[in-house]
Amino acid sequence: MSHGSSSLFIGGQWVTSHSAEVNTVINATTEEAMGRTPIADAADVDAAVAAARRAFDGTGWSDLQPGERADAMERFADEMAKRSTLIAETVTAENGMPISLSVGANGFSGAGLLRYYAGLIREFPLEEIRAGDLPGNILVRREPLGVVAALVPWNYPQGLAMMKIAPALAAGCTVVLKPALETALDANIMAEAAAAAGLPAGVFNVVPGGVEAGQALVAHPGVDKVSFTGSTATGRIIGEVTGRLLRPVTLELGGKSAAVILDDADIPAAVAGLADVSFPNNGQTCTANTRVLAPAHRYEEVLDAVTDLARSMTVGDPLDPATAIGPVVSARQRERIEGYIATGRGEGARLTTGGGRPAHLDRGWFLEPTVFGDVRNDMVIAREEIFGPVIAVIPFRDENEAVALANDSDYGLAGSVWTGDTERGLALARRIRTGTIGINGYRVDNAAPFGGYKASGLGRENGPEGLMAFFQVKSVLLPTAT
């Protein structure tokens, strides 16, 4: 890398951190140090916000024609794509994501989002003339909100960051990204790509940090919009702060989504599909469908199939393309998941497979894919986000009960319906109170608005809706006399 471990990307340059604190990023598979970054403090955040402020107020990023911003974003995308292998492998080492997933979810997702929003802003109507209800026309303008604070977790660090950065840049905003400390190294690769693409100084800044930097950024007087992805607990704190400040905020939070398998589904095919829908990224996925709802009269058949699926998944080195389940991100996270497994046993759920650490792996924070049967929806393991490879299989009597169970959750982020009849699946999907839901599958699409009902968040990312989150709307009342 072109910069030292004490550097932060601020104002288009690698500058020495004000903080003396060092963040050592640990490889989740080898448990060895893989690199270092500073832990940004409030003074570093100040410098980054000042750079973003100057870039917004003074240097014309927001005044460029949308097509010129789109050109710059496409150059940024090209530089990201050139680094896709490095990005994918770095994230896999940092957080244990199987490389087969990381290539798309980290390696190419950033470039894809930049291209998607570059295309959108070229065509997007930023001004429209509207006939007034009173005499006279109105010019309705969409103006960039200003300096954006983007705070992201470690589980899909590249895609989640770019779901904020790409629409913000397209809208004409400037950005300060605060990556999580666990995945600070891949954020620096993003910064290198931005520099190589010649993005104007200060338009994009990176300050890896923990709670101190996060709090300083969210509350900073120079910030106009906060876009946060992370846990519901932290989201509530950020919502309180931004509420007091009357600062626009988007919150993408936790989930406990349901996969509803209807009685007309091809069960082997449906359960095979759950490999990617229920266990993605070793379960460290906000959209993971970790509650599998099965028709009571086919319950044992579904439970057996999910159990067999979990047993068949290859657990091991996440850099191996054949690996389905890598380690979880940290020792602390593994202990937390093990605590939930103990809770599930204690509340009377039936462990059908997994529940422990794989015997053949003596290093790395691995856990066996784990399935619980005989789960009731009021058990802790059915209500709380475990964020590991742990699935609860819950029976339902009829479609109405399936809908009631799916909706009986504090969360509402994702979900899926599995059926031989798409119309039937669609009818059920309409009744489930969740931000995204798939029929016979699940995917996050750049064009599909993404976000949560209930405790899963506020607002939407992706699609034109994700762009709208970075605009203010101004009405100019045109003269009535012509």
Give catalytic residue positions.
Answer: 252, 286
Alpha-carbon distance of 39 to 21, in angstroms, equals: 5
Stretch of residues binding ligand NAD (CB under 6 A), selected from 104-112, 213-221, 294-302, 421-429: 213-221
Contact set for ligand NAD, span 398-417 (CB under 6 A)? 413
With binding defined as CB under 6 A, does residue 239 bind ligand NAD?
Answer: no
- Are 423 and 274 contacting, i.e. CB atoms less than 8 angstroms apart? no
Q: Applying CB under 6 A, does 385 fall inside the site for ligand NAD? A: yes
Name the H helices within 362-416.
Answer: 380-383, 399-407
Region from 37-45, 184-192, 223-231, 303-311 binding ligand NAD, contact rule CB under 6 A = 223-231
Closer residue to ligand NAD, CB minimum distance, 329 or 402: 329
User: What DSSP character marks residue 314?
Assistant: P
Among 218, 270, 305, 337, binds ligand NAD (CB under 6 A): 218
Residue placing its CB nearer to ligand NAD in the complex, 49 or 270: 49
Name the helix (H) or strand (E) containing 110. Answer: helix 109-123
Length of the chain: 482
Q: Which is nearer to ligand NAD, 286 or 437 (CB)?
A: 286
Q: Give the Å distances, CA to CA, from 388 to 251, 268, 286, 392.
A: 22, 23, 10, 12
> Considering the complex, what minimum distance in angstroms separates the CB of residue 9 from ligand NAD?
16
Instruction: Please name the residues in contact with 430: beta carbons below 8 A apart, sequence gap of 6 or more.
Output: none
Estimate to the nearest angstrom the gap between the alpha carbon of 367 and the chain centroid.
22
CB of 40 to ligand NAD, least distance (A): 10
Question: Is 211 near ligand NAD (CB under 6 A)?
Answer: yes
DSSP string spanning 407-449? HSSSEES-EEEE-S-HHHHHHHHHHS--S--EESS----TTS-
Q: Give which of 274, 291, 306 is closest to 409, Cα–Cα.
A: 291
Give the nearer residue to ligand NAD in terms of CB position, either 316 or 463: 463
Number of residues that bind ligand NAD (CB under 6 A): 30
Of 107, 202, 214, 425, the one binding ligand NAD (CB under 6 A) is 214
Q: How far apart are CA 358 and CA 349, in angstroms?
A: 21
Q: Least Å distance between CB 408 and ligand NAD? A: 19
Q: Kindly state the tokens that stand for 107.
A: 């390696």
Give the Cα separation of 216 and 237 in Å (integer): 13
Q: Which two tokens stand for residue 338?
A: 């093990």
**Is there binding between residue 237 and ligand NAD (CB under 6 A)?**
yes
Q: How far is the CB of 95 from ligand NAD (least distance, A)?
A: 10
Q: Interface residues for ligand NAD in 327-346 (CB under 6 A)?
A: none
Among 326, 354, 457, 459, contact with ligand NAD (rule: CB under 6 A): 457
Provide, rounded to whole angstroms, the least separation between the CB of residue 168 and ligand NAD: 16
- Tell me if 28 sits within 8 A of 37, measured CB to CB: no
Among 286, 292, 349, 367, binds ligand NAD (CB under 6 A): 286
Residue 15 lies near ligand NAD (rule: CB under 6 A) = no
List the one residue from 144, 153, 172, 202 that touches ligand NAD (CB under 6 A): 153
Contact between 10 and 191 (Cβ < 8 Å): no
Place of tokens 């065509």: 123
Residue 202 or 230 having the CB closest to ligand NAD: 230
**Near ligand NAD by CB under 6 A: residue from 148, 161, 187, 238:** 238
Is residue 241 within a helix (H) or strand (E), and if so which, with residue range? helix 232-245
Is residue 230 involved in binding ligand NAD (CB under 6 A)? yes
150 binds ligand NAD (CB under 6 A): no
CA distance 121 to 125: 8
Residues that bind ligand NAD (CB under 6 A): 151-156, 160, 178, 180, 210-211, 214-215, 218, 229-231, 234, 237-238, 252-255, 286, 385, 387, 413, 452, 457
